[in-house]
Amino acid sequence: MGHYAAYGSNLDPARMRAYCPHSPMVGVGWVEGWRLTFAGEGDLGWEGAVTTIVESPGDRVFVALYDVHPWDAAQLDEVEGVTAGAYQKLTVRVSTLEGDLSAWVYVFDGYEGGMPTAWYLSEIANAAEKAGAPDDYVNELRQRPTRTSSPEL
């Protein structure tokens, strides 16, 4: 098994159980020196941008850690867009209360930019809350700007 660090909507343990039934959540932690952002607005045919992380000294991203069974890894790559070329897998260091460990994350393969829809941002904040993210982290997510789902007139 390998460790996967979920930072977006996959923070939701129920969502991950549906995608990866053989891969338990084993803890939470922080990816230090990275920040949560959005990318791909207009590139993927979605209404808004999707989550990604980028290197950013002094920042950090809350993650849920999963031990991903090989049976689930290919499914997760498909769901996360690796197979389609939208995301790539990178290995990062995750700080936990038990110490640091290596885990993979999915990072958008393109430029940062764009804003998520209000619905999508709500999904991410709710998932972070379900995974046990600190209240200040969840509140900061909920306060991020969003784009409207209909074109400006």
Active site residues: 80
* 5 assigned binding-site residue: yes
* 137 assigned binding-site residue: no
Alpha carbon separation from 141 to 72, 98, 123, 129, 150 (Å, rounded) = 29, 26, 10, 10, 22
Give the whole-angstrom CA distance, residue 40 versus residue 102.
26
* 120 assigned binding-site residue: yes
* 7 assigned binding-site residue: yes
Which residues are registered as beta bridge partners of 56? none
Quote the tokens at residue 16.
């991950």
* 4 assigned binding-site residue: yes
Quote the tokens at residue 33.
């020196």
Give the whole-angstrom CA distance, residue 52 versus residue 114.
11
In the block, which residue shows the tokens 């949560």?
36
Q: Which residues contact 34 (CB under 8 A, 6 or more apart)?
A: 53, 54, 55, 56, 59, 60, 61, 92
Residue 10 is given by DSSP the state: G
For the annotated binding site, the residues are 4-9, 120
For the annotated binding site for substrate, the residues are 4-9, 120
